[in-house]
Structure 1
Amino acid sequence: MNSPLQWLVILVIVLIFFGAKRLPEIGQAMGKSIKEFKDEVAPEKTPGDKAKEVEARVIDNEKKE
């Protein structure tokens, strides 16, 4: 049902419709939307969980610099 030919046809149609320059923007927007949806569906987090997330982000930012 999902043969490579079908995916190729879909890709060509998307490229024609949106253009190659817009595809990364569309991908980023879809990724953010999915992440936000998962965050909203996830069970409530405790204040301790939120503090751990912030700490992990700070550490990641320090590693990047």
Structure 2
Amino acid sequence: MSFGEMLEMVDILKKADYDGKKAKIMVKVVKSLHRNFGVRQSKDQLRKRWSDLKLREHEQYRKIRRVLKKSK
């Protein structure tokens, strides 16, 4: 998953305060990634990627959050 794709995913999930239980939000992420990047990934793959970002890839997650803060 490219940095731009992860940025888009994190942006949508942070705005919606996603906690892993709201399925409609993940559908929005899937559609947005397909529309903007031509990427087709399942909701489960994206849910796992979100979990990995938060739990295992702290530095990558911090970098994404910094970029999002600068853009606002």
TM-score (norm 1): 0.30
Q: Which entry has the higher C-alpha Rg, 1 or 2?
A: 1
Q: Tell me the TM-score normalized by structure 2.
A: 0.28
Q: Which has the higher contact order (CA 8 A, sep 6+)?
A: 2
